[in-house]
Amino acid sequence: MKIPLFSSSLIIFLVLAISISPSHENQSFLQCLETNSNPSYPISSLVFSPNNSSFPTVLQAYIRNLRFNESTTRKPLFILTAQHESHIQASIICAKSQGVQMKIRSGGHDYEGLSYVSNVPFFIVDMFNFRSINVSIEDESAWVEVGATLGEVYYRIAEKSNVHGFPAGVCPTVGVGGHFSGAGYGDSDRLLSLLNQSFPELGLERKDCIEMSWIESVLYYTNSPITPIDALLSRSPPLSYLKRKSDYLQKPMSKEGLEFIFKKMIELQTPTILTFNPYGGRMSEISPLAKPFPHRDGNIAKIQYSTNWNEKGVEASNHYLNLTRVLYNYMTPFVSKSPRLAFLNYRDIDLGITHNGKLSYFEGKVYGIKYFKKENFNRLVKIKTKVDPQNFFRNEQSIPVYPSWRN
C-alpha cells in the first residue's frame, strides 16, 4: 500500500471575543472589526455575543470536553465565525488595539480546552469555515486549510485514489490546525512484514490478516469497521467529560512493574485506560534536536492516560481528575525522568501554565522542557521572542518570550 506524505498549507488564523452590549468599548471594538475588514465580505453577521440566541449553539459546536461546558465556565465575550482572510486580519488589529485576548479554534480537540476557555476576558475566532482541501494525485500533495478535520482530509484523498493515504491521527474529528502544529500519531504501517521480522515464531501469514483499503482501515481504527466512509465527514463525535495525561517509556517495564500498575488500577477502581504507542525503527534514527518535536531516539513507547466519565458536576470531575493523577504518580518509577517528558498534543495543564507576566518565561519553562526538552524549548523561545516580542499570540501553555532584561 502506498502511503506518501502529503504536504499541507496551514493558513494561521486567530480568535476574537467581545460582549455585544451597549457599552462604548464594545461598540468601539465592533466598529473596529467592520473598519478593518473587507467590505465585500461583511463581518457583523458573523459575530455572536451572549445576547444572541445562537451564541450557545455556536460556542458548544466545537467543545469536545464537557468539563468546559459547565454553567460556571467563563464564556467568551463573543465568537467570530470568520469566513474571509480580512476577518482574521481585522481580529488581530482590533485585539491588539483593544487589549483583548484572542483564542483560535480549529477542531476544538485541545484536551484542556485552551482554544475556547480562559481565565481572562477573551474572544474566539472559529476557523471551521476555512476547510478547503485540494488534493493532487499527480504531484502527491494536498493543500489543506486550517479548519478542515482529519476525517475530511482522509475522505478527499480517498475520493481521488485507492492507493494513496496520509499517515496522521486516528480521530477523524481532530482539526488539522492543532494536529499539524503539535504533531500527531497514526497507525499506518506495514504490519505483516514487521511482525514477521520481530516475532517470526508466530508464523504469521497473509491468510491470517484481514485485507482492506487504506480508507477502510481508517474507519477500522476508529472502532467503526462497517461504517460508510462518508462518516468521516461528520464533525460531531460522542462527547464526555475527560482528562488526559502522557508519559514516555525509555526502559522496558518488568512483569512485576506491570503487575504493580494493574493492581493499583484495580484498587483505585479507575476507568483510566493506558495506551502504549510503540516507538523505534526510523524514528530512532532522528535526533531529538532535528525538529521541535524531540521524542524520537531513546523512547520505547508513548503512553496516554485516558479517563472518561459521564457524571455531571464539579465533585465528579474532581474525583476522576484525582484518580488519573494518582495513577500517573504510581507510574513515576517506570517512565522518563529529569525531566518527566510529555506529549504536547495530549495537553495537560497539571504540568503548569503561564500568566503572560514578568515571570512567563520561568512559568513556561516548567512545562516547556517536558514537551520539547531544554535545548528545543530555548530555541523556540528565541524564535518566539524575535517574531512576537509582545507575546500577542499565546495561550496558557504557549511558548513564552524571554524576559525584557535578557533582550
DSSP assignments along 332-378, one per residue = GGGS--SS----TTS--GGG----SSTTHHHHHHHHHHHHH-HHHHH
Residue 129 resides in a domain: yes
The CATH number covering residue 155 comes to 3.30.43.10
What is the reported pLDDT for 240?
A: 96
27 and 97 share one domain: yes
- At 246, which CATH number? 3.40.462.20
pLDDT digits (tens, 9 = 90+) for 288-314: 999 999 999 999 999 999 999 999 999
The per-residue pLDDT for 190 is 60
Residues lower than pLDDT 70 in the chain = 1-26, 188-192, 405-407
- Based on the domain organization, do 259 and 295 belong to the same domain? yes
Choosing from 183, 204, 238, the residue where a domain stops is 238
Verify that 220 and 261 share a domain, yes or no.
Answer: no
Q: How many CA atoms lie within 13 A of 271 on its CB side?
A: 15
Tell whether 155 and 39 lie within a shared domain: yes
Same domain, 24 and 156: yes
- The CA-CA-CA angle for residues 178, 180, 181, to 5°, reads 65
Percent of the chain residues topping a pLDDT of 90: 73
Within a 10 A sphere around the Cβ of 109, how many other Cβ atoms?
24
Has residue 260 been placed in a domain?
A: yes
User: Is the domain of 225 the same as that of 251?
Assistant: no
* 146 and 276 part of one domain: no
Q: Just list the catalytic residues.
A: 346
Residue type at 127? M
Q: Is 346 a member of any domain?
A: no
Domain membership flag for residue 348: no
Q: State the pLDDT at residue 192.
A: 64
The last residue of a domain, from among 238, 265, 297: 238
The 3-state DSSP class for residue 314 equals helix
Predicted confidence at residue 13, as pLDDT, reads: 38
Is there a domain that residue 343 lies in? no
- Identify the domain containing residue 371 by its residue range: 355-406
What lies within 8 Å, CB to CB, of 168 at 6+ separation is 150, 153, 154, 179, 184, 186
* Domain co-membership, 81 together with 198: yes
Domain count, the chain: 3
With respect to residue 350, please indicate whether it lies within any of the assigned structural domains: no
The verdict on residue 141 lying in a domain is yes
CA distance 378 to 149: 31
381 and 294 in a single domain? The answer is no
Report the Cα 336 to chain-centroid distance in Å. Answer: 22
173 part of a folded domain: yes
**Count of Cβ atoms closer than 10 Å to residue 358 Cβ:** 11
Both 360 and 321 in one domain: the answer is no
Pair 191, 285 in one domain: no
Would you state the pLDDT for residue 211? 82
Last residue of a domain, one of 209, 238, 267: 238
Is residue 232 domain-shared with residue 295, that is, in the same domain?
no
Asked if 375 and 334 count as a contact pair (C-beta separation under 8 A), the reply is no
Confidence at residue 16, expressed as pLDDT on a 0 to 100 scale:
38
Beta-carbon count within 10 A of 300 CB: 16
